[in-house]
Amino acid sequence: MQTNNPQPNRPQNKSCPAGGAITALSSQQPSNGRDKRGVIVTPPSGNTSDPNALVVLHKGFDTLALAIKANIPSELFDYLDAERSIAEEERRDVLVSYNGVDLLLSPHGGSGYRFIASGGPDGATWFFKKPNTNDPWGIRLSFGSFFMATHGLGAAKAHVDHILEQFSIRTGPDDISISRADFCIDVLAPSFILNPDQCVMHSAAGRRDYITPDDMSVHGKSGRVTSVTIGGTRNRQVIIYDKRAEVIAHKKSYWWDVWNHTLRTLRTSKTTNSNATHVRTRVLCPDPDFAAENRVWRVEFRAGKDLLKDRWGIRTWGQLFDQFGDLCREAGEVVRYVEPTGSDPNRARWQNHPLWELVCAEMNDDLIEMRSGADPNPMKEVHREEHIGLIYRNLLGSSITLAALSNADTNALGQVFRQLAADMTADVEADPVRAAKQLQDAKDRYVFIKRREPPA
């Protein structure tokens, strides 16, 4: 990547986003106590581990959105239009397949787009307009966090190129317009306490502080700040937040696999790298009994359309590859998280917090091919098992409710369940065509959870 301010070379394992983190930790030495910037102390003994050490668990792109200067071919439009009619009539997403590309087509459009179709966790969400020569920007798409974490930016570009080729859509380098790019760094920081008063930012930036009622009640305190948002979505936005709490709240279970993959990699490196002695052996988990020691904080740098185009002139793939690292480094300078320095009332003179120093150090490396290195297939299997568990619990609860409405007692539950099974079997046998369609619809709906192939 070309930069205006060359950065020192740092080792980087391209398949592990924590590569270079250990080097960054060990290379930041105190300056005889005169400057606290970047002071991160490793444990004094190779046989111990510091439970409060800062460990980078993941870094990489989190969200990517772009527009394409092209319209879909008339044949594809006619096919999608016919399938959308079916989706509207049946009020469900329908599985469409066009030239080897499978998508779940929504029964509705939105924001001027006729079709919305999802490629699942290993693909993008596509938005297509009705072809119009007066509106050449007829396609928009976005990648979510699962794809970007497990596959990376290079795979995202390759995926876009592949889908456009399969759809017989020809584009040039200037026909791509990046509209949003988010880059995040997850840090295991058990002792970190987020204080919005320690944020130093440009006076024009807005800030939103979040204190959740659940945290207030669970911890028995006046409140625990879990997120600070600085800036706006169309411009520069920096967010520091409790990622562990967000993962649990939104059931994004794949992040446990991503983080634990990094920990396993770091533990393996202990045999050859003495600086990795701070990595602990316990795996991260959502168990509330280990919430304090499993606290993961995310620093996320979001670049909206105005910042990308107006401030940095980033629109195409090439410009994104060349300049996004510099954009992130500037964000880490414009917005800082600092440590109070004695009685100095001027926060602008306060030194960076060790967490912020670590985050900024991680951004000094090549940001383009960051991905977790974790195998996405086990994560999708976990997702599938979670769906099965949820449906089973709903089925069991509904069956018990039916038993209660039939005035059955506990000893009769087995008989109630057997009768329900017999009744459902009879219904299927009475209308096998309808049952077969329902089964196929369900298979289509969860096709991407079952799929194990890597993205094209």
31 compared with 200, residue with greater pLDDT:
200
Structure tokens that stand for 355 in this block: 């967490």
- Sequence-distant (≥ 6) Cβ neighbours of residue 73 within 8 angstroms: 131, 167, 168, 169
Phi and psi of 132, rounded to 5°? -150, 120
Q: How far apart are CA 2 and CA 211, in angstroms?
A: 40
Listed range (111-120, 125-134, 431-440) with the worst mean pLDDT: 431-440
**Per-residue pLDDT at 312 exceeds 70:** yes
Q: Quick one: pLDDT at residue 241?
A: 92
* pLDDT score, position 274: 47
- Among 21-35, 54-68, 114-128, 412-426, which stretch is predicted with the lowest mean pLDDT? 21-35
Q: How confident is the model at residue 281 (pLDDT cuts 50, 70, 90)?
A: low
Measured distance CA(424)–CA(128) in Å, rounded: 41
Cβ count near 264 (within 10 Å): 14
Residue 185 has pLDDT above 70, yes or no: yes
Q: If you average pLDDT over every residue of the chain, what do you get?
A: 80
CA end-to-end span of the chain: 25
* CA atoms of 297 and 328, how far apart (whole Å): 18
What single string gives the DSSP state of each residue in 357-394? Answer: HHHHHHTTS--TT------HHHHHHHHHHHHHHHHHHH
Q: How confident is the model at residue 366 (pLDDT cuts 50, 70, 90)?
A: low
Residues 6+ apart with CB under 8 A from 170: 70, 164
Name the DSSP class of 107.
S
The mean pLDDT of 164-179, rounded to a whole number, is 95
Question: Which of the given ranges, 13-17, 59-63, 341-345, has the highest pLDDT on average?
Answer: 59-63
Strand 94-98: give its sheet, edge to edge.
94-98, 101-105, 115-118, 125-128, 139-143, 55-68, 176-188, 296-303, 236-242, 225-231, 207-211
Share of the chain above pLDDT 90, in %: 40
pLDDT value, residue 209: 60
220 or 356: which leads in pLDDT: 356
Give the pLDDT band of residue 266 (cuts 50, 70, 90): confident
Burial tier of 424 (Cβ tally within 10 Å: 0-12, 13-18, 19+): exposed
- Both tokens of 83, joined, read 């399938």
Q: Report the phi/psi class of residue 201: left, alpha or beta, with left for phi > 0 and alpha for psi in -120 to 50.
A: beta
What is the pTM assigned to this prediction? 0.73
**Between 50 and 381, residue with greater pLDDT:** 381
- Residue 224 pLDDT: 82
CB neighbours (10 Å) of residue 417?
15
DSSP class of residue 290 equals: G
Residue 208 above 90 pLDDT?
A: no
- What pLDDT score was predicted for residue 311? 87
Average pLDDT over residues 84-106: 95
Q: Range with the lowest mean pLDDT among 177-181, 234-238, 368-372, 424-428?
A: 368-372
Helix (H/G/I), strand (E/B), else coil: 53: coil
Average pLDDT over residues 373-387: 64
Distance CA 68, CA 198 (A): 41
pLDDT tier at 70, thresholds 50, 70, 90: very high
Dump pLDDT digits (tens) for 234-261.
888 899 999 999 999 888 888 998 999 8
Residue range 1-54, pLDDT digits in tens = 444 444 433 333 333 333 333 333 333 344 444 444 433 333 333 333 555 689
**CA distance to 64, 85, 208, 253, 327, per residue, from 144 (Å):** 7, 27, 24, 14, 21
Residue 281 or residue 151, greater confidence:
151
Task: Name the burial class of residue 317, with classes exposed (0-12), middle (13-18) and buried (19+) by CB atoms within 10 angstroms of its CB.
Answer: middle
Task: Please determine, for residue 352, whether its predicted confidence score (pLDDT) is greater than 90.
Answer: yes
What percentage of the chain has pLDDT greater than the value 70?
A: 75
Q: Residue 51: its pLDDT value, please? A: 57
Distance CA 140, CA 423 (A): 47
415 by Cβ neighbours in 10 Å (0-12 / 13-18 / 19+) ranks as exposed
